[in-house]
Amino acid sequence: MIRFGRDLATEAGMAGKDISVKKYVVRLSAGEREHLQALIRKGKSPAKRLLKARILLKADVSEAGEGWSDSRIIQALDTSASMIYRVRKQLVEEGFEAVLSRKRRMTPPVAAIFDGEKEAKLIALACSKPPKGRARWTLRLLESKVVELGIVERASDSTIGRTLKKTVSSRIAGNAGSSRRRPTAPS
């Protein structure tokens, strides 16, 4: 499948002026066009994905494509020149599927408070004897104790609960409703 031609373009191409030489030329196959048209027809995708699909269909210079200029696409779809440039560039450099899918984050938005070692210490603490005058560890008691012992700098009771709920050996798992105990055969 021949998809793109790379020619030199000026900054005017990105600014939305009609220019015949494009750096990133969109040429879609029949299957890709059909996929984009079905995506738009259904209308169930996120708005950004639908906009990108419309841009690709309008910018397609293949025989079946419309081959619109950037300025015409900007007016028709009420978008920016940089958006059209980015969609064209992503199609050429990363491929058809990359344009329609979101880029995955390499790191989570918030770093995990408990890594494996700290989680093990928390579990050991939760399985140890509770403080004097208490029948069992509460999430708030564990919260203050992990900070006091220097296991973590800070943690909320909900973070402690989520961390402990992941483990089967958790002392609170039976009380939290995370799993039912299975009846055992009498010995």
Whether 1 is in a domain gets the answer no
How many separate domains does the chain show? 2
How many residues does this entry show for the chain?
Answer: 187
Q: Does residue 67 form part of some domain?
A: yes
- Residue 138: helix, strand or coil by DSSP? coil
Same domain, yes or no: 147 and 92: no
For residue 88, which of 29, 31, 22 has the smallest C-alpha distance?
Answer: 22
Distance CA 86, CA 94 (A): 11
Query: What is the domain range of residue 85?
Result: 11-100
Asked if 92 and 122 sit in the same domain, the reply is no
Buried b (16+ CB within 10 A) or exposed e, 31-46: ebbebbeebeeeeeee
pLDDT tens for the 187 residues of the chain, in order: 444 444 433 333 443 334 445 788 999 999 999 999 999 999 899 999 999 999 999 999 988 888 899 999 999 999 999 999 999 999 999 999 999 998 888 887 888 888 889 999 999 999 999 989 989 999 999 999 999 999 988 888 898 888 888 765 545 545 544 455 666 777 6
Residue that the structure tokens 């020619």 belong to: 7
**Are both 90 and 125 inside the same structural domain?**
no
